[in-house]
């Protein structure tokens, strides 16, 4: 278990869900993981679990939409071998149900947050001779999902940013790819169902699960394992690509 031995990995939104799974797996593979999360209690819980398993990790309370805070932290860390832009929020609603404040909130976290981390990490990677970047996009960036206007727009931006960074920094030995998951069973999904469909939790969970042709939601660890491959030397010839991990949603859901 040493695919990332000695690597310094930054994982935004690493305090829960997919980010937690990525942070835990990366630490198990030898990385020194820095979790950036506004939910510092969740981040500390993940770090404590990593420490108990014999890994190395630190938690940092950071709002990724604050460029100065992100830049200051990454400069203080000094070395960034891997950046995983995972932090993100969702919004349910079509265009007409997406107020300006909702749109701005999603863009500030999902798009500006990724930009801020990229803006801080890329110069460090250039100075040290290279690095690896993985952005969390979504199937929403390539297919139409009902009532996800702002979220889809933000993930479309992530996909485009991935291509741009991959092309611009080829000569600097910086690889940049993205992952596009379909629905993943995280605490966010459980909370969303409980809030919006009280008394119908089991029925809605099954309905959402069946929207993937494979018949279930993804597990966070399944996303983390793809992230591990793309951020390891095993993927040294891969850059500028998006990888759907969707239970057949894009190609088979027709």
Structure tokens belonging to residue 22: 């990525």
The closest alpha carbon to 9, from 112, 116, 82, belongs to: 82
Q: What is the pLDDT of residue 106?
A: 96
Cβ atoms < 10 Å from Cβ of 204: 16
Q: What is the pLDDT of residue 253?
A: 76
- Tell me what the pLDDT averaged over the chain comes to: 95
CA distances (Å), origin 171, targets 18, 82, 153: 31, 17, 30
CA distances (Å), origin 78, targets 124, 149, 243: 7, 37, 29
Q: What contacts 206, CB < 8 A, 6 or more positions away?
A: none
Residue that has been written with the tokens 């930054």 in this structure: 10
pLDDT along the chain (254 residues), means of 10: 94 97 98 97 98 98 98 97 95 92 97 98 98 97 89 96 98 98 90 86 91 93 98 98 94 78
φ, ψ of residue 11 in degrees (nearest 5)? -125, 110
What does the alpha-carbon distance between residue 48 and residue 83 come to, in Å, rounded to a whole number? 21
pTM: 0.95
Q: What is the pLDDT of residue 187?
A: 85
Q: What contacts 55, CB < 8 A, 6 or more positions away?
A: 24, 27, 28, 33
C-alpha Rg value of the chain to the nearest Å: 17
Structure tokens belonging to residue 246: 């969707």
The closest alpha carbon to 9, from 233, 21, 30, 167, belongs to: 30
Q: Give the orientation angle of helix 187-196 with respect to helix 201-210, to 10 degrees.
A: 120
Q: What is the pLDDT of residue 191?
A: 85
Instruction: Note the pLDDT tens digit of each residue in 158-190.
Output: 999 999 999 999 999 999 999 999 999 998 888
Handedness of CA 213, 216, 220, 225 (dihedral sign): negative
Sheet of 131-136: strands edge to edge? 56-61, 32-37, 8-12, 82-85, 131-136, 174-181, 242-245
* Residue of 151, 169, 197, 243 with catalytic role: 151
Q: Is 169 a catalytic residue?
A: no
Alpha helix positions (H), 14-148: 17-28, 40-52, 67-77, 100-106, 113-128
């Amino acid at each position: 278990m040493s695919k990332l031995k000695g690597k310094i990995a930054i994982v935004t939104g690493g305090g829960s869900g997919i980010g937690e799974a990525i942070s835990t797996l990366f630490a198990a593979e030898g990385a020194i993981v820095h979790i950036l999360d506004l939910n510092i209690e969740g981040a500390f819980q993940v770090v404590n679990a990593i420490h108990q398993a014999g890994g190395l990790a630190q938690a940092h309370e950071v709002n990724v939409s604050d460029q100065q805070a992100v830049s200051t932290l990454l400069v203080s860390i000094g070395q960034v071998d891997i950046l995983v832009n995972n932090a993100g929020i969702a919004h349910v609603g079509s265009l007409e149900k997406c107020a300006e404040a909702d749109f701005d909130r999603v863009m500030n976290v999902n798009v500006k947050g990724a930009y801020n981390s990229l803006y801080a990490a890329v110069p460090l990677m250039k100075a040290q001779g290279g690095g690896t970047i993985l952005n969390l996009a979504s199937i929403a960036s390539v297919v139409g999902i009902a009532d996800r206007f702002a979220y889809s727009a933000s993930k479309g931006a992530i996909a485009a940013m991935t291509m741009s960074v991959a092309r611009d920094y080829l000569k600097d030995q910086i690889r940049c790819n993205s992952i596009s998951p379909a629905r993943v069973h995280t605490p966010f999904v459980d909370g969303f169902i409980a809030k919006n469909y009280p008394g119908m939790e089991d029925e809605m969970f099954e309905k959402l699960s069946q929207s993937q042709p494979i018949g279930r939601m993804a597990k966070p660890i399944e996303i983390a394992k793809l992230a591990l491959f793309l951020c390891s030397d095993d993927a040294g010839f891969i850059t500028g690509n998006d990888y759907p991990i969707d239970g057949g949603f894009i190609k088979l859901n027709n």
